[in-house]
Amino acid sequence: MYNVLDKERRNQYPDARGAFGYLRTLRSTDPDMYWSHKKSEKGKLLNLFWCDGQSRRDYGVFGDVLAFDATYRKNKYSCPLVVLSGVNHHNRTIVFGTAIVSDEKEETYVWLLEKFVDAMKGKALVSVITDGCKSMRNAIRRVFPDAHHRLCAWHLLENAGRNVKKPKFVEMFKRCMLGDYEVAGFEDRWENMAIEFEVQDEPWVKETYEKKEMWASAYMRGQFFCGFRTTSRVEGLHAQLGRYVNYKNNLCNFLKNFHRFMTYFRFKEVEDDFNSTHGEQVLLTSLKALERSASKIYTRNIFLRFRAILQRASTWRVFGFKRTAMCVIYFVKHYPSTGRNWQVTYYEPTSELKCSCERMESVGLPCDHIVSMMVHIDMVEIPKSLVLGRWTINAKESIEGFGETEMNEWDQLTVCRYSALLASCRNLCKLACRTSAQFQETKSLVFEHCKRLSSNSQVDVTAGDGAADHGATVDEGQGEEGEERHIRNPDVVRSKGCGAIIYQRSMKGKRTLRGGICGKPGHNRTTCTRRDGQTSTQQGTQEGSIGAGLTQRLFEEENENV
């Protein structure tokens, strides 16, 4: 009975209507708010994409690398949530756009990416990283044909351990994937690895090798990925988002909680801006001139990364050079010598430097080899050719607002005003509560003042709605508010992998009680007669868990080395 009444209530007052109403409320204070939706033939909501003005402005500066993945159980309809994110000048994750979709098919991702490009004024991506989903890969190829696509290294290592089931193979595969080799060196190591472990005919190994241009560092040298190797940033974003939303939220509540999450998330950037612009860095390396120059250019988090490069540069030596008509080529090798050297090209008229390792083109920071060459020729400042604008303190000065409003909710000036008023109000409350007459007088004054400010803001909202109707767009040209009122709630989506579990439960019924040691039915662990050992099944399970943990440990060690 309750289920039928709840279904009728949802059909009479669609949750989707409240969600669109909340988006219109956000647009009243943010004229650059954008959203788009798609509905089914029965009028039910299928897909919803939205992004605010701050996300659109951030994409104009930091929209060169994109990472996105889908997660489930963030709303009551179990619709996959897709967050499109990137990295800002503090090396922190930022959100460019968000979508709730009905499935993870190729056509759905194509629709999402097309709306994303429309919201970002047609700016194309340079690189994108995903978990290897086939529908994602095909959609990216259709919408961004020129973008470099990279597969997540963590997922590849997990799949290697799951398909080959040889821990030593996973370790060798990781070296082939992340090692700094030439193409010929990679091919030789791959062939030797396949012969050593006898996996030449494994289907997964063949399929992975065919996609080597999307995961092997030897084939992706010089492609800009901001240091991305995995989708761990997206996974971390989903974990933080889980503190604000859950599977019980309807669409309207989900949007409200997601907005709270974005407000907190962006306030961290305000703190980073303050830390980067106030105070001076303590110089720790012996190359103090270059370190001081970097501290005035880069943000604090990026400066700490560059400081590590300065410390490693002391282990490289310039052992020769060759002068040509256009440039000077310096030969750099590691101390003690490892038998391999790198070539750093220096164009004197323009002070441009390039290294054969191409890490500057991949990460956006000078490599150890370039820094050692700069020390060799007594450079005291970092040349402009080696400074990537997206990592600097003044990275956002090039932002051109999409609308007339350039301040966001957590702009630094807004935060300062809020803090100043909060301190004054504390003092006001302390003085006004001493007597009843003072309390009543202060209360009436505050009430009248709030009422006047609220009426003024409503006038501004009315003026803003008419100017920002272009922000709400839907498929087939149905963008009016009246059309959105008739959209019904989406269907509940079944997530990946749930079908087998439901089928087993429906077929087997009640779960059979089995012994925890012997594995035989009819008793439990405490009543089991065999307590002196473990079954082969349990032992195999433990070995499998050890093999799965090896992948995570190897990847953590690689991150520490990097």
- 96-109 pLDDT per residue, tens: 999 999 999 999 99
Q: Residue 265 has what pLDDT? A: 84
Q: Read off the pLDDT band of 247 (50, 70, 90).
A: confident
* Residue with more model confidence, 400 or 169: 169
Q: Quick check: 274 pLDDT over 50?
A: yes
CA dist 468 and 9 (Å) reads 32
pLDDT of residue 112: 96
Beta-carbon neighbour count of residue 293 at 10 Å?
Answer: 18
Range in 51-65, 286-300, 426-440 with the lowest mean pLDDT: 426-440
The reported pLDDT for the residue numbered 165 is 86
Query: Which token pair is 468?
Result: 């920002």
Ranked by mean pLDDT, the top range of 326-340, 407-421, 447-461 is 326-340
CA 14 to chain centre: 32
* More confident: 383 or 416: 383
Q: DSSP for 325-347?
A: SS-EEEEEEESS--S-EEEEEEE
- Does position 73 have pLDDT exceeding 90, yes or no? no
> Which SS3 state, helix, strand or coil, does residue 67 take?
strand
* 3-state SS, one letter per residue, for 198-232: CCCCCHHHHHHHHCHHHCCCCCCCCCCCCCCCCCH
Instruction: Report how far apart, in Å, the C-alpha atoms of 260 and of each of 248, 255, 266, 335, 417 are.
Output: 17, 9, 10, 52, 20
Query: What pLDDT shows up at residue 543?
Result: 42
* pLDDT (0 to 100) of residue 463: 35
pLDDT at 479: 43
- CB distance 144 to 123 below 8 Å: no
pLDDT the model gives residue 458: 54
Segment among 138-152, 335-349, 380-394 with least mean pLDDT: 335-349
Q: What is the DSSP string of 459-501?
A: HHHHHHHHH-GGGEEEGGG--SHHHHTTPBPPPPPPPTTHHHH
Residue 62 confidence (pLDDT) above 80? yes
Mean pLDDT of the chain: 82
Q: How far is CA 309 from CA 99, 220, 381, in A?
A: 38, 21, 15
Residue 504's pLDDT band (cuts 50, 70, 90): very low
Confidence of residue 533 (pLDDT cuts 50, 70, 90): very low
110-163 pLDDT, tens digit each: 999 999 999 999 998 999 999 888 999 999 999 999 999 999 999 999 999 999
Phi, psi of 330 (to 5 degrees): -100, 140
CB 222 within 8 A of CB 361: yes
More confident call, 401 vs 131: 131
Tokens of 41: 């033939």
pLDDT of residue 541: 42
CA distance 206 to 203: 5
Worst-scoring range by mean pLDDT, 310-314, 349-353, 517-521?
Answer: 517-521
Sign for the CA dihedral angle at 136, 139, 141, 146 comes to negative
For residue 389, what are its two tokens? 């604008």
Run of H or E residues at 271:
helix 251-277
**pLDDT of 526:** 66
Structure tokens at 298: 């880069």
